[in-house]
Amino acid sequence: MGEFVRLEVDGGVGTIRLERPPMNALNKQVQEEIREAAREAARRDDVHSVVVYGGEKVFAAGADIKEMVDMSYVDMAARAVALSSSLTAVAEIPKPTVAALTGYALGGGFELALCCDRRVAGDNVKVGQPEILLGIIPGAGGTQRLARLVGPSKAKDIVYTGRFVDATEALAIGLVDEVVAPDDVYAAARTWAEKFVNGPARALAAAKAAIDGGLDGDLASGLKLESHLFAALFATEDQTTGMRSFIENGPGKATFSGK
């Protein structure tokens, strides 16, 4: 358990909780603690899905600018890859993940949210990539994951202007997937995550690998990846259980072991 980031596990759902008041600024220590929490969530068999949560008031308002302001090119060149990979560790969790967004999710904070499979936001949330206002660009996935999520034109508008996007617009353009009352954000995210607690874990991991891996290449390569992962699932207990249950009892009644 880190000083500012911890993994809590309850009922099969892991919550990666950020706690660095007042704004959960992502300094180097927080970045590395996110990496370790993500790796722990990935390897634990009692974690079936993951919620990333910054608390009731704020998700994360960005990187710690005070830590960066005096860094040189040489300093940042040595750090930039580690910064990006610390958040990518969340994207690499082979389980369903959801970000629960309250208050502000900006800069590195929104880049962290983009690493999740789904984003649930309070109706008062502000999201965005305001790095351009500091004379820089997003450096932990914002230019890449944002463009893949909403397309290059909308991504360029958000990155070029550095503007804050409110919940209504964020939902309309696909930056977030669900908007609820601020007090209901964690509960709504957890409700989604709980759907997978008794699911076919290997099939869910394969689905995530196929979708994410396919986006990195052309259609032909993606189809080959899908075929490989599809066939591999016929070596699992859950495939046998799921198909036999379908034949005997109809759809949606299988009890999976996750093996």
Active site (catalytic) residues: 111, 131
For residue 29, count CB atoms less than 10 angstroms from its CB and return exposed for 0-12, middle for 13-18, buried for 19 or more.
middle
- Whole-number Å distance between alpha carbons of 125 and 210: 31
What is the spatial distance between Cα 208 and Cα 203, in angstroms, rounded to a whole number? 9
Least Cα distance to 174 among 145, 194, 196 occurs for 145
Residue 217 CB-density burial (10 A; 0-12 exposed, 13-18 middle, 19+ buried): exposed
Dihedral pair phi/psi, residue 92, rounded to 5°: -85, 0
213, 244 contact by CB (below 8 A): no
CA atoms of 179 and 17, how far apart (whole Å): 20
Q: Which of 149, 3, 119 is nearest to 51 (CA)?
A: 119
Positive or negative torsion for Cα 27, 31, 36, 37: positive
Cis preceding-peptide flag for 22 (omega within 30 of 0): yes
